[in-house]
Amino acid sequence: MTSISKSKSMAARMIALAFVFPVLYLLVLSLADSWIFPQLLPEALTLKRWGTLVGGANNLWGSLLLSLIIAFTVATVSTICGFFTSKHLAYHPNRSLWMRLSYFPFVLSPVIYAAVLYYYFIRLGLSGSIMGVILGQLLIAYPYSVILFSGFWSKRMLHIEKLVQTLGGHRWQTYRRVLLPMAQGLLLVCFFQTFLISWFEYGLTTIIGVGKVQTLTLKVFQYINEASFYNAALSSSLLVLPPIILLYFNKRYLFQKRW
Amino acid sequence: MRIFEQKLFKNKVEATGLLLFLLLAVLPLLLGIIYALLYSLGITGLVSDGFTLKYWQQAFTDIELWYSMGYTFYIALATITLTIAGALLLTIYLKEPLQQGFAGFSIYVPLAFPAIVVAFLIFQLASQSGFFARIIYQLGWISSTAQFPELVNDTYGIGIIAAHTFMALPFFTLYFINLYDQENINQLAKVGQTLGASSAQQHRRIVVPILLRRAFPTLTLYTIFVMGSYEIPLIVGRQSPQMISVLVIRKLRKFNLSDIPEAYISALLFITLIIIGLTLIFKNRNFSYDLDQ
Amino acid sequence: MKFFFYYVLIFSVLLFASCSSSPDNQTDLQNLSWDQILQKAEGQSLNMMMWQGDPNINKYMQQYVVPQVKKQFDIDLNVSNGQGSTIVSVLMSELEAGQQQSELDLVWINGETFYQLREIDALYGPFVSQLPNSKFIDFSNPFIKYDFQQSINGYEVPWGKVQFTIIYDSARVSSPPTNRQALRQYVKTHPGTFTIANDFSGMTFLKSLLIGMAGKGTLSGEFNEQAYQKYSERLWNYINDIKPYFWKNGETFPSNVTAMHQLFVNGELNFTMSNNDTEVDNKILEGFFPQTARAYVFQKGTIRNSHYVGIPKNSTHKAAAMVVSNFLISPEAQYRKARPDIWGDGTVLSKLKVPPKWQQKFAAMPQRYYAPPRDSLQDHALRELAPEYMIRLYEDFRTEIIQK
């Protein structure tokens, strides 16, 4: 029995290594001075690439900030709007129809969605602008947030709400004192999930943003495109490290079974 | 408008909520479909000369498009099959160790990777001069890069499938483990055991069916999600056949301007596929608001 | 709840308000003096879309052009990635949507892109003669004056002049094939070491072969469908014959020249190609290519052409775009660009027309070592064909070669 559990934990450790190895590989690649075939390890390590992060000509810092601003806005808006609308959708007689509709934009390939909507974005004067990219990403993140919150509204919740109102609670008070505190955990999860949707987005961003709105993912692609793999690793690290740090504090932010 | 409002909505707040939803989630999709349809029928567009069905005919006889559709299906199904198999194995045999300590942390790590970085990593690790090839070379098993098997930009989409599986496997392992605890599968299996089921029978007859049935909607959604992926096939895929998203964008951005309507037709075909996929999911009764249950 | 309603309201107002950028009063720039244009351009920001597949080119733009135009003219230049077909697609979508204010203000184009943009009437012009530095340009040179047989008519500014070369590793290849027969022989005896990139460089190589098959001059002039059919069939037969001996058995092709360079460096390929005859020097100086890399051309010659920058018709920052274009063709910017250690892009300026100080500098330019001297390539320089040939090659390469 113990030998089985031992081999099991051994296997688990191997799997764990396979999952963590890519992070280490990215970091080493971003620090490598020269690392070409058939070298197994880089000849030397250098900090100069990370050093250029601040004030460097590659403007990675600017992209990092831009990605942050966009993701923050997308997450805030979609979480708030999603929470608000999902309630009304859930209590609406046609709720199953709304529920079905909310899945469409979410599973639709973002690039294809962007391709068929590009015309309208130009018409609205939103193509090539940060606002356009934010709106475009909202079109994916917001339905997701609606889906995420759909499980929150139940008959029980409706009873509680009614009860508060019978006891004289105002609608706003219901939200502030009852609904929001109860949804607190889910709100946070939704915020981080939608943040990541935006943070990770590439296809839609490059189409709607006409390549002008250079978020971090666009930088990664540009470096891959010009075969600057060390720089691609550096910008990839910038993309990956924040969610991993977040993960360290709370796993729930990253994983939501009801997506 | 007033009558309409009164019938559909109870009050202004509800109206706002629903309108917001219609505006952000329903309207864009409709508009997108309409535009793609108009363009594909030659009604709009800079090079159009009025209504025509020739682009549809052209598209339906374009082997490349069907090839691409088939390839897209193949990649998605291969990914999801590997994922299901892997995640079930991990859930059944390594559930406990994967819930503790470093392993418990590490399984979440791939969830922190965007598709574009995963694609880049697969390219770095698995190309013929990549990290894996270097290990094999240093071991003396190969003497040149060409001897290393093609794993990226390859015929069978191995690179694409590997990248997707790297992202999907941990997700579904966690998902299954969650379901396992939630649905008290352990106890059901014990009941099976007392009724004389062997360990293999418990897995085959109880654990796996319950997990798959419960996870069916999510699995279907993920399959569609993989079919629509863009960055991964763009970076580790090959020139032909291409997955549908890559094909659409390439056809949109071509010097041959008469290919643009076909790009929109490809997009419409994909949207139709999603509608079919979603209809399939919604047949599953587990998948609705709590209020309906 | 009212608060929230207002929040949404304000947010959506903000969302749409922030996007309607201030319309530029489109005075006709053609009647303005250069000083007036400089004045108009001051403080503007403009977006340039260009192919960003080469780190040296990107470095030249980011570390030299961008800071210089900021310093000299107070112009914020933003560079975004997109090659010819993307530029056509973006500008075409804008025209379809009736957008009067383009997202693009300056585009790096030539050949088929110029042709398509002129077809859909998306380019501003003529404006080239208004640029003060255009007087230095060597317009007598047919390789500059004509872009793929099309007269540029002041709609695009010549930026650089290059010739296609094949690059090989002399450590691995002792005598590189210099004609079709030799290439066939080489590929068949050294399987897996040669391929063609599925981008403009690969198509330019195919075009050189096509001209070689048809004979010099046969395909010049306007696009000739029959001639194309006749010679392209020979070309595809030739390629399909040796394709099984290509890299990865010819089942797939590198998507671009950057990927091909990578394969060359890793030793997977013995050959790579470049549209820029100095690229081999610049990549060796950078330490990317091995010291043993060399460039050469086929006996029957390779394509020599120029690349240009153009201004979209609906750009709202045309003055700034003109000022930046003028800077790009200044002796200083051209000299820097031509240096093998920077980019190695051939200048479009006439060495006789530039001020004496620059004549000396150009004459004393660091020489290139690994590519044949530009003058010796002159005899092997082929003129570009009409743009339709390129468009067809792109199409047919996919259907006749990749998908077969």
What does the block give as tokens for B27?
């309207």
Q: Which residues, in sequence order, are CB contacts of A129 under 8 Å at separation 6+?
A: A209, A212, A213, C18, C19, C21
What does the alpha-carbon distance between residue A59 and residue C62 come to, in Å, rounded to a whole number?
A: 9
The verdict on C286 and C323 lying in the same domain is no
Mean pLDDT of chain C: 91
* pLDDT of amino acid B286: 55
Specify the pLDDT at position C3: 43
- Strands C157-163, C150-151: pairing kind: unpaired
Q: Which residue from C324, C304, C307 is spatially nearest to C127, judged by alpha carbons?
A: C324
The verdict on residue C24 lying in a domain is no
At C191-249, the pLDDT tens digits run: 999 999 999 999 999 999 999 999 988 999 999 999 999 999 999 999 999 999 999 89
Q: Does residue C362 surpass a pLDDT of 50?
A: yes
For C41-75, the pLDDT digits (tens) are: 999 999 999 999 999 999 999 999 999 999 999 99
pLDDT at residue A71 is higher than 90: yes
Please tell me which residue of chain B has the smallest CA distance to C2: B13
Least CB–CB distance from B145: residue in C1, C112, C266: C266
- Domain count within chain C: 2
- Residue C199 sits in the same domain as residue C62: no
Nearest to C78 among A36, A127, A212 (CB): A212
Q: What is the residue whose two structure tokens read 């409002």?
A: B5
| Residue-level pLDDT at A174 | 81
Residue of chain C nearest A226, judged by CA positions: C53
Long-range pairs of A173-180 with CB within 8 A, sequence gap ≥ 24: A175/C1
By the 8 A CB rule, do A165 and A73 touch?
no
Range with the largest mean pLDDT of A155-164, C266-275, C371-380: C266-275
Does A100 contact B113 at a Cβ distance shorter than 8 Å? no
Percent of the residues in chain C that have a pLDDT greater than 90, as a whole number: 83
Same structural domain, C141 and C74? yes
How many percent of chain C have pLDDT more than 70?
A: 93
DSSP letter assigned to residue C346: B
- Which residue out of B117, B199, B281 would a mutagenesis test of the A interface target, given it has the greatest number of A Cβ atoms within 10 Å? B117
Note whether residue C53 is domain-resident.
yes
Residue C126 has pLDDT above 80, yes or no: yes
What pLDDT does residue C153 have?
A: 93
What b/e sequence results for C203-235 when a residue is b if at least 16 CB atoms lie within 10 Å of its CB, and e otherwise? Answer: bbbbbbbbbbbbeeeebeeeebeeebeebbeeb
C395 and C263 in one domain? yes
Contacts of C19 in chain A (CB under 8 A): 124-126, 129, 131-132
Q: C394 at the B interface (CB within 8 A)?
A: yes
Same domain, C197 and C88: no
Could C95 and B144 be called an inter-chain contact, meaning their C-beta atoms sit closer than 8 Å? no
Interface probe for B, chosen from A15, A67, A244 (most Cβ of B below 10 Å), is A15
pLDDT of residue C12: 54
Task: Looking at the complex, report in whole angstroms how far the Cα of residue A234 sits from the nearest Cα belonging to chain B.
Answer: 11
Judging contacts by C-beta atoms under 8 Å, the chain B residues touching residue A255 are 108, 111, 171, 174
Q: Given a contact as 3+ CB pairs under 8 Å, which chains touch B? A: A, C
For residue C14, give the amino acid letter.
Answer: L
State the DSSP H helix or E strand holding residue A66, giving kind and residue range, or none if neither: helix A60-90
CA angle in degrees (0–180, nearest 5) for C353-C354-C359: 110
Q: Within 10 A of B285 (CB to CB), how many other CB atoms are there?
A: 8
Residue to test with chain A: of B231, B248, B265, B287, most A Cβ within 10 A: B231
What one-letter code names the amino acid at C210? L
Same structural domain, C318 and C360:
yes
Per-residue tokens: C30: 């053609």
Within-domain flag for C359: yes
Whether C51 maps to a domain, the answer reads: yes
Q: How far apart are CA B24 and CA B32, in angstroms?
A: 12
Q: In the structure, what pLDDT confidence band is assigned to residue C140 with cuts at 50, 70 and 90?
A: very high
Answer whether C116 sits within 8 Å of B146, measured CB to CB.
no
Range in B182-196, C285-299, C381-395 the model is least confident about: B182-196
Residue A242 has pLDDT above 80, yes or no: yes
Residue C289 pLDDT level (bands cut at 50, 70, 90): very high
Chain C residues with CB-CB distance to A221 below 8 A: 81
Q: Is residue C18 part of a domain?
A: no
Note whether C85 contacts B253, CB cutoff 8 Å: yes
Give A-chain residues touching B7 at CB under 8 angstroms. none
Q: Radius of gyration over alpha carbons of chain B, in Å? A: 24
Average pLDDT over every residue of C102-120: 95
Residues of A in contact with C58 (CB under 8 A): 222, 226
Is the same domain home to C139 and C288? no
pLDDT digit string (tens) for A145-174?
A: 998 898 888 888 888 888 888 888 787 888
Query: How do residues A4-44 score in pLDDT, each as one tens digit?
Result: 888 888 888 899 999 999 999 999 999 998 888 888 899 88
Residue C340, helix vs strand vs coil: coil
pLDDT of residue C210: 95
Chains with 3 or more CB pairs under 8 A to chain A: B, C
d(CA C161, CA C156): 14
Residue C19 in domain: no
Same domain, C124 and C238: no
Position with higher pLDDT, C11 vs C336: C336
Higher pLDDT among residues C291 and A96, named by residue: C291
Residue C16 confidence (pLDDT) above 80: no
- Residue scoring higher pLDDT (C349 or A34): C349
Contacts B215 to A, Cβ<8 Å: none
Q: How many CB atoms lie within 10 A of CB C292?
A: 13
C117 and C186 within one domain: no
| Together in a domain, C141 and C193 | no
C95 and C232 both lie in a single domain? no
d(CA A206, CA A221): 10
Indicate the residue of B98, B137, B174 with minimum beta-carbon distance to A255: B174
Q: According to the model, what pLDDT value does residue B205 have? A: 80
Q: Please tell me the predicted confidence (pLDDT) of residue B18.
A: 87
- Closest chain A residue by Cα to residue B117: A236
Residues C154 and C177 in one domain: no
Q: How confident is the model at residue C378 (pLDDT cuts 50, 70, 90)?
A: confident
Looking at residue C223, what is its pLDDT?
A: 94
In sequence order, what E strands does B157-256 have? none
Among A78, A122, A202, most C C-beta atoms within 10 A, so best to mutate, is A122
- Tens-digit pLDDT string for chain B (293 aa): 444 444 556 677 788 888 999 999 999 999 999 999 999 998 888 877 888 899 999 899 989 999 999 999 999 999 999 999 999 999 988 888 888 888 888 999 999 999 999 999 999 999 988 999 999 999 999 988 888 998 998 889 999 999 999 999 999 999 999 888 887 888 888 888 888 888 888 888 888 888 998 888 889 889 999 999 999 999 999 888 999 999 999 999 888 888 899 999 999 999 998 888 888 877 765 555 555 54
Which amino acid is located at B119 in the chain? Answer: A
Residue C76 counted as domain residue: yes
C404 and chain B: CB distance < 8 Å anywhere? no
Beta strands in A27-165 (DSSP E): none
Tell me whether residues B46 and C96 touch, CB distance under 8 A.
yes
Q: A246-257 in b/e burial notation, b at 16+ Cβ within 10 A?
A: bbeeeeebbbbe
Q: Which residue has the higher pLDDT, A22 or A256?
A: A22
Is C13 within the bounds of a domain? no
Residues A223, A235: contact at Cβ < 8 Å? Answer: yes
CB–CB of C402 and B13 under 8 A?
no
Q: pLDDT-derived band of residue A79, with 50, 70 and 90 as boundaries? A: very high
How many Å lie between the alpha carbon of B275 and the closest alpha carbon of chain C?
27
What integer pLDDT is reported at residue B266 of this predicted model?
94
CATH number, domain of C170, equals 3.40.190.10
pLDDT at A227 over 50: yes
B129 touching chain C per CB within 8 A: yes
Q: Which residues of chain A neighbour B27 with C-beta distances below 8 Å?
A: none
| Structural domain span for residue C148 | 33-160+305-373
- Is C22's pLDDT higher than 70? no
Does B13 contact C5 at a Cβ distance shorter than 8 Å?
A: yes
CB contact under 8 A, C402 and B239: yes
Residues in chain B within 8 Å Cβ distance of A27: none
Cα–Cα distance, B117 to B125 (Å, whole number): 12
Whole-structure pTM value: 0.90
Average pLDDT rounded to a whole number, residues A130-151: 93
Q: What is the pLDDT of residue B292?
A: 52
Whose CA is closest to C272, among C287, C285, C254?
C254
Nearest CA-CA partner of B212 in B73, B80, B79: B80
Chain CA centroid to CA C110, Å: 6
Q: Mutate which of B58, B253, B259 to test chain C, going by most C C-beta atoms within 10 A? A: B253
